[in-house]
Amino acid sequence: MSAKSNPEPAASSGEISVAQLKHWDDWNSKYRQPDTIDAPSKRRMSEVLSALSQLKLRGAKILEIGCGTGWLSSRLTEFGAVTAVDLAVEVIRVAKEQIPQIDFRSGDIMEIDLPTNYFDVIVTLETFSHVSSQAKFIARMAELLNADGHLVLTTQNKFVFKRRSGVVQNPTYTRRWVTMRELKRLAVSKFSILRATSLEPDGHLGVLRVINSSKLNRLLGAMVGPENLRKWKESLGFGQTLFVVAVKR
């Protein structure tokens, strides 16, 4: 997300209130329609699809956690059969009608009835920061994956979001950002990390005021090229999104 982009996307949690369900229904209805997907979300989708291609998945059993309207789920069908779960109720009802080939489920991923040791890959975008227990969420995903299962996860980068202006807390739902170090520490008990990077440099407070200054970026971009500059900043962890590909231990 840029500083002017959408609020954060949907999540799973332990104890789900009516207000939380309504929040994610409303959020997905507003920000996860075909014409309202922002550029950073499209970048996350592109990276996920590229990662799945590199894993050479075909005919896979795929689980998406935090699927919203199914905007990504529909693309995941290129790699196999998709089960997609979200807390939202109304958007899942609509998604079932619009994309009947996907097994959409409305509910809490920590409690919903799904087969264990079953899925080949789990994809979850911007959900990790909204769960009530991140350690239990990691364990749940490992439980659902088969012995060689892969996890593709994105979440908000605490280092960047703490240095962004205009981010407002919403008491309706849980929000707990993590750094890459924290994410790895949580994941390592159940997963081996294959790839870890950040995406979409952002933030203009603190040290990021210098790193993302337009004057410096024009100078460095002229020297190394804008694309190489972006990749360099992402590799150093200055992207707003943490992106991890891992395999179950």
CATH code that applies to domain 18-200+240-248:
3.40.50.150
Angle at the Cα of 147 (from 145 to 151), degrees rounded to 5?
A: 45
For residue range 174-196, list pLDDT tens digits in order. Answer: 889 999 999 999 999 999 999 99
pLDDT of residue 33: 86
pLDDT of residue 16: 67
Weakest-pLDDT range from 9-13, 49-53, 138-142, 147-151: 9-13
- For the record, the structure tokens of 85 come out as 């779960």
pLDDT of residue 7: 39
Closest among 246, 247, 238 to 179, alpha carbons compared: 238
- In this structure, which amino acid lies at residue 111? E
- Inter-residue contact 237 to 185 (CB < 8 Å): no
Domain ranges of the chain: 18-200+240-248
Kindly state the percentage of the chain with pLDDT values over 70: 94
Closest among 137, 127, 118 to 87, alpha carbons compared: 127
Quote the pTM value. 0.89
pLDDT category, 28, cuts 50, 70, 90? confident
